[in-house]
Chains A and B, each alone.
Chain A
Amino acid sequence: MSKFIYADNAATTSLSPAAFEAMKPYFSEFYGNASSLYKLGGQSQKAVDNARSVIAECINADKPNTIFFVSGGSEADNWAIKGAAELGERKNKKHIISSKFEHHAVLHTLEYLEKHGFEVTLLDVHENGIVRPDELEKAIREDTALVTIMFANNEIGTVQPIKELAEVAHKHNILFHTDAVQAVGNVPVDVQELGIDMLSMSSHKFHGPKGMGALYVRKGIKLPNLIHGGAQERGLRAGTENTPGIVGMAAALKEAVEKIPEKNARLEKMRDRLIENLLQIDRSHINGDRLHRLPGNVNMCFEGIEGESLLLMLDLNGICASSGSACTSGSLDPSHVLLSIGLPHEIAHGSLRLTFGDENTEEDIDYIIKTIPPIVERLRSMSPLWEKIVKENS
């Protein structure tokens, strides 16, 4: 059999067998509508309630009813941000603070709000890819309605000082939301200990089914309706519950959270070994803070080559990875995340993201360490840009 290594767990993950098994009966025998009165409906309702409790426990939310099921991370981000904006607007507060390297689900929502009279401040993330709490403090205005900063970045994996950032926001009575899509299930998340008001999560990032997510909304925050209709999700997000999805998400998260200590110790070792080895390639760089990053995230740039051709070569060698080059983003510019940490365009084009999960092994790392250097060398041998870099530095 030819080699196959999936190293793109930040894009999506495989469905956990436990989650799959948990979901199955809700596709077939327990098909009832959770809102129906009879027993068949009640079984679905019970499953949804149970899943809500499990998810609340996984992030240490004080009550299950702080968890709202949605279709995924993007929906959760949209709801939290537009909802908080509406709450702010009622008090004439129309300023939102975020960071330069948020996911597009956040940045594009903020752009939409700007068209509707809101002002947005995007905090710098500096060379290490980390937001500074003192800079948040300085950006706060009298009319700031919301601070939204991601928990961990989706490309470079840097983990933000969430507790400190939330403290700053709360000192000024401002709501604090975090897009924790890359963090939940991968690092410990305790919403009470960290002081998070709202948190977005996505099921398929922790081996749950796609098309499922949740928004945590702290007790006391009266978020406006997202979808008008029936009484589901306390009347705030109407629509018949996706019972199998909800059940699968809870089963996957429970499993992922239980595995965190063992998995992360292993992944950190694998990650650091890979980084050390790849840094031996001439003119290679690691993107984002070396220590404050997700245990499974490796993001590097190799000068003189372009990311998409590197990905295609890796695919030919059985390795699934991703890149922040323009060619993979479908636009002229490389990823806004890589530009936000100050990388020049020509270096950002040569980026490679490898993200590992509990299915990856030390043997995978061995194979990647062996495979990448000759590919980089080959692409450089046909790159006129590399020719220039060598000439300029000889």
Chain B
Amino acid sequence: MAYSEKVMDHFANPRNVGEMPDADGIGEVGNSRCGDIMKMYIKVEDDVITDVSFKTFGCGAAIATSSMATELVKGKPISEALKLTNKAVMEALDGLPPVKVHCSVLAEQAIKAALSDYYTKKGIDPEPIVGKATDCDECHFHN
């Protein structure tokens, strides 16, 4: 198994890493039993994600996909961030080994979880906008 240069770059020099004390939305997906937890923090102004950061417990691909996902949604309107797919994250990283595809799924879900939290905090039901939160086990299709 080998990672692309882009994955290694985002792993070794992760972008937007760290906590955000004044976040408007925080999403956490995965669990420690499976070996990955991703936590995303977003700041929203006028339906635009003005700032985003993450903290991740997980493998190299988990850290790299988190980092790439933050780059892909930073400065984007929520409507665009909602369209972020795991495939887009993978492509931006020049691909992932097959057993690591679930990491990109987690990254997509982490962004959505942060957006759900943002709407919930505003008193808006997130489900019609963001969709249903999926269970962590579903994204682990390798074994």
Q: A-side interface residues toward B, CB under 8 Å?
A: 304-309, 312-313, 316, 325-327, 330-332, 334, 345-346, 349, 381-387
Contact = CB atoms under 8 A, between A and B. Distances in A.
Contact of A332 (B18, B19, B28, B143): B143
A365 to B, nearest CB: 25
B55 A383 contact: yes
A313 B63 CA distance: 12
The 9 nearest A-B residue pairs measured at CB: A327-B59, A346-B32, A308-B59, A385-B57, A383-B57, A384-B39, A349-B35, A345-B33, A326-B35
Greatest chain A CB density within 10 A among B17, B54, B55, B142 is at B55
B56 A383 contact: yes
A385 B14 CA distance: 18
B37 interface: yes
B12 interface: yes
A277 B8 CA distance: 29
Given A305-B57, A383-B55, A312 B11 contact: yes
B139 to A, nearest CB: 11
Given A313-B12, A383-B37, A383-B57, 19 more contacts: A305-B57, A307-B59, A309-B58, A312-B8, A312-B11, A312-B12, A312-B60, A326-B34, A327-B58, A327-B100, A330-B99, A330-B142, A331-B142, A345-B33, A345-B34, A346-B32, A382-B17, A382-B56, A387-B55
A304 B56 CA distance: 10
A387 B14 CA distance: 18
Contacts of B143: 331-332
B81 interface: no
16 contacts: A306-B57, A306-B62, A308-B60, A309-B62, A332-B140, A345-B32, A345-B33, A345-B34, A346-B35, A382-B17, A382-B18, A382-B56, A384-B28, A384-B55, A385-B37, A387-B55
A381 B143 CA distance: 29
- Which of A304, A346, A381, A384 has the largest count of B CB atoms less than 10 A from its CB? A384
Interface string B80-98: 0000000000000000000
A307 to B, nearest CB: 8
A35 to B, nearest CB: 41
Contacts of B28: 384
A382 B15 CA distance: 11
B71 interface: no
B122 to A, nearest CB: 24
A382 B63 contact: yes
B39 A332 contact: no
A386 B37 CA distance: 11
Contacts of A349: 32, 35
B37 A384 contact: yes
